Structure 1
């Protein structure tokens, strides 16, 4: 521990960081890769939900807001590393240390609870993302099997319900999640980013082809629709799970601000391109992932297949970190010779649980909205401000009242999203399960009820 403020300021953690470290450019790529996963493929649905004007404005505001919060989170992590003389910390480490080192013992005693709370919301977010990815893969396979552009939960041409496709995919998802070394998945993760970039470019082409005049776009929808947009937008732009690991692996951690600000310019721009032009191209027919809207000709079909494979691999990459967190608590309960077998068993069990969640709530958009509101409101808005106050409260020259008021004001928005947004998105999730389908109708994958086409004889 640094005994004085001068010692803390002078301490350099870089000699403690061994191994190969990333430069600025590679760090920016890692940060962008952490944010631009499957969520960016659903951004056009968010724009359709809110209307393009509030969506564009909030796209920028939320991106800047998250960027600032992650910046103060990393500043806190760097100060705690110097204060504790350690090379690096994880997000839960930072939360625990911020509480444990606070001079008031009534606050410090909550350190372990706070760490576990961060572990819980991180695991919920990433496991929930895996459920959304399973839905994306199942929807793509279902569309290719039925060879129809319209997307509904029920099967066409005597083929199964969407939930059946998710159930059929449980074993393949278990198999890939049994890989215990993430290095085997890393090359596929890079390829996934290339395919996603290709999908964004093709989306812009379809926007120019389908709607060159930008006609028939809704300017703004209701306030509740904007709340639904918020969860999906936060989900598509957040890199809460990777922001501290990226800093930990930098050659020059003092230049992380450049990495973060440059990375978020790229993230905000990519989300805007995919979302806005996706809405321009497909208007009220938007479906997630965005490739669901592409026509069923040979080229787009191949791209749809690639997207399904890449999301399948991304599911395993996303699964890796939260499972390690869960097994960290389970591992000591087993004898050393049984730990590997138990790890494989629990990997399979958790994948099955994730699949059951996807089967129960077969709406990608509602699931992403709920995760964005419930989990990321904590990880991206509330926790960074709480940690920053605890770490910097006793520093000389800091206005303590201003620190607290700023944290309260910046956290209020996160609290609003947590309660109001989670309620709205949670209601949408429940709607997909309990909505009663009237006779002669079908249910879309977003939960809406639409009329079935009449039989061929009646139509004639």
Structure 2
């Protein structure tokens, strides 16, 4: 698990990939002549490549996180029938967009004769070789891409902080006569979160990550145990929700199913990357299993608890039962460990791209790095305390960030990669990618608006 995260951090760090993989020249933005004999896959230098099965296992672990516990609540916004169908369709959309991104990056690497490109480099190069209307944005493309990624990763960290707070509070409330506020529960974990993000060598977290993986599997088993008891009538649940609430469902589902950073990092680290795509490749098999698990878990959770479903399904378990309390505590520990991994990515991006260039002559680099790490924790805690709404925050992060990173940006990169002479019969790739870009923009705007509206309304009503 840690190897995938270390490679993900290298992948997202702008300008580092070509120096570290194969020793090829740094991207200069020029469109070199394409050599049909050049295969980027053959020029990657990977220290510890993963097998197909190892990649599949990493993919499943990277996709199965807090989203699986939040998706049952999303079905409350979509309705049962609509939720099942829409989740399958969004799973197909996410999978297809990942195919688009992997294929387009390969085409651009082949044109430039480089082994690997980071996502920011891909966006910049795509704008440079694409339609004239996009070329003026090329200098800003890496910064925009990094902004969405940093926001996404910091958003995940905020979700994790709130998740730990609400689940520990649910246990603590059973043993205290005076109810302690959620804010205090969140703040009491500030020092542990600072300590874990200050671990600069992620290999130190390896034993804890193994424990976190085991806890995750046990949690899913306990969730299955609770949701399969005393099921009400299936027909009592509404088939469709309201149109206004659908963007809330869309954001949560996108947050749950989209794993663009993990997927690209895994493909880059494969021993046989050509087996990643394909009809029965790692991507299709992994995303198919992930989508099926999410649909089953969301359907059963909403079926069991209906409109009483909580932002995390663990909060629906009987609060007085020892098993429910144990699983809340254990999964909170697993999420706490994952915070160190998730927080490593934005720290690495900010440090590598924006701080190191300004500290070249400084002898206090280590001090500034720790200041950055602590500042990231402070920011996530400020957001978590200000907006302690787990479900809505998950939806906002998914709608705002992943509509761009997972849908619109891959379409832009593909459109530019095949521009202007390889867009297919009737230029169908152009029209298809324009459609994906529109879907991404609508998802971003509608989802963000609905989430922000609900957050403001909920905070104003004092129902946090």
TM-score, normalised to structure 1's length?
A: 0.88
Distance, in Å, in 1 between the alignment partners of 2:405 and 2:422 is: 28
**Counterpart residue number, 1:35:** 63
Which residue of 404, 422, 445 corresponds with 1:378? 404
Local SS of the residue matching 2:282: helix
Runs of at least 5 residues in structure 2 that lack an aligned partner in the other structure: 1-29
CA gap 1:113/1:190 in 2 versus in 1, 3 angstroms: farther
Which residue of 240, 244, 252 corresponds with 2:260? 240
**Counterpart residue number, 2:358:** 333
Alignment of 1:288-307 (within 5 A): 288-295=311-318, 296-307=320-331
Q: CA deviation at 1:400?
A: 7.0
**Counterpart residue number, 2:432:** 406
Which residue of 35, 56, 66 corresponds with 2:84? 56
The CA RMSD over aligned residues, in Å, is 2.1
Distance, in Å, in 2 between the alignment partners of 1:11 and 1:298 is: 56
**Counterpart residue number, 1:180:** 200
1:308 aligns with 2:332: yes
**Counterpart residue number, 1:231:** 251
CA gap 1:418/1:208 in 2 versus in 1, 3 angstroms: same
8 Å contact kept, 2:130–2:415: no
Distance, in Å, in 2 between the alignment partners of 1:229 and 1:361 is: 19
Runs of at least 5 residues in structure 1 that lack an aligned partner in the other structure: 149-155, 438-442, 446-460
8 Å contact kept, 1:207–1:277: yes
**Counterpart residue number, 2:17:** none
Q: CA deviation at 1:189?
A: 3.4
Which residue of 51, 62, 79 corresponds with 1:23? 51
**Counterpart residue number, 1:428:** 454
Give the aligned length.
429
1:96 aligns with 2:93: no
CA gap 1:108/1:228 in 2 versus in 1, 3 angstroms: same
**Counterpart residue number, 1:321:** 345
Which residue of 97, 103, 106 corresponds with 1:75? 103
Q: CA deviation at 1:342?
A: 0.7
Q: CA deviation at 1:80?
A: 2.1
1:287 aligns with 2:313: no
TM-score, normalised to structure 2's length?
A: 0.87
8 Å contact kept, 1:90–1:244: no
Distance, in Å, in 2 between the alignment partners of 1:331 and 1:388 is: 32
CA gap 1:141/1:207 in 2 versus in 1, 3 angstroms: closer
**Counterpart residue number, 2:165:** 138
Q: CA deviation at 1:81?
A: 2.2
